[in-house]
Amino acid sequence: MTTTLPRAQLPLPVRTPPPRSRSPHRVSRWQIYLPLGLYLLFTLVPFYWMLVFAFRPRGSDSLLPWPITFDNFTTVWTGMGFGMFFQNSLLVGVASLISTTVIALSGGYALARYDFRGRQLFLVAMLCTQFIPGAMMLIPLFEIFRTLGLVNSLWALVIAETVFQLPLSLILISGFIKNIPVELEQAAWVDGCSRLRGFFAVVLPMLRPALVAVGSFAFIHSWNNFLFALMFVSEQEKFTLPVGLAFTIGEFSVDFGALAAGGVVAAVPVVLVFAVIQRYLVQGMSAGAVKG
């Protein structure tokens, strides 16, 4: 309805929009808000439940978020080691983010700006890797990490995460670089810039949306990964949050307040990252779709 107003004010309306009541073009309000409201309920009730259980005092039965207590958080953070798990997850997440972005940036530039022997083969191989099941790679990866002495090391997780994130990241970044006119770089070379300086001065600043997308994908993915962390790390001091959470779930008598608080600890960073990037997510994918 908002669109009809400015259009009516145009001096030369190309076509007057058909009247609202008879138009099949318009969707009425309740046709949007009713299904959307129902779906929001389905989305938000689980989050709400987790928050209520995390913050409510022991023995309380109320579903209202008052009074609140931080007891559950103290229990999980210090008593159950979630502070340590959080640190481990953060280390793996940030390290995966950096290594994925750097490797994908350098490889993506090569794929976008050079024709070289083996380029097509590499692209096809990258698509094939999308069908490799992570769970299925557990055995051979475990063997490799054992040979490298990386079992029980967080670096094993960083390596595994980076490798599984690389194909998608390479495709995304090289696609973005392709959309940056090479003439911009050429102008820098003419001015006497080296290729490297040209890259940093011209290309990198324009890649910000791609870097945000790739970096946050890598971070969220590695923050959430469970199976690798479960398999490659068995010392409790090296657990990541999903593994810690899974062990809380697996306890004989589950402490639901602690479970919920642990869940909040695990959720907050990714939800924050997601809140920042979600606009770019749709925009970035639309842009990719336009370019075909």
Q: Report the 10 Å Cβ neighbour count for 265.
A: 22
Backbone angles phi, psi at 212, to 5 degrees: -60, -45
83 binds another protein (CB under 8 A): no
39 binds another protein (CB under 8 A): yes
215 binds another protein (CB under 8 A): no
Residue numbers 185-204 binding another protein by CB under 8 A: 185-186, 189, 194-195
Q: Would the CA dihedral through 112, 114, 120, 125 be positive or negative?
A: negative
Residue numbers 3-22 binding another protein by CB under 8 A: 3, 15, 18
**Only segment of 67-75, 77-85, 99-107, 204-212 that touches another protein (CB under 8 A):** 99-107
Residue numbers 110-129 binding another protein by CB under 8 A: 110-111, 113-116, 119-120, 122-127, 129
Count of residues that bind another protein according to CB under 8 A? 118
151 binds another protein (CB under 8 A): no
273 binds another protein (CB under 8 A): yes
254 binds another protein (CB under 8 A): yes
Q: Report the 10 Å Cβ neighbour count for 275.
A: 9
274 binds another protein (CB under 8 A): yes
Helices (H), the chain: 4-9, 29-55, 71-74, 82-113, 119-129, 138-147, 154-178, 182-190, 195-198, 204-206, 208-224, 227-232, 241-250, 256-291
Q: Of 68 and 272, which has the nearer Cβ to another protein?
A: 272
41 binds another protein (CB under 8 A): no
**Only segment of 4-12, 72-80, 202-210, 251-259 that touches another protein (CB under 8 A):** 251-259
Cβ atoms of 111 and 170 within 8 Å: the answer is yes
Cβ atoms of 244 and 80 within 8 Å: the answer is yes
In the block, tokens 């579903």 appear at: 63
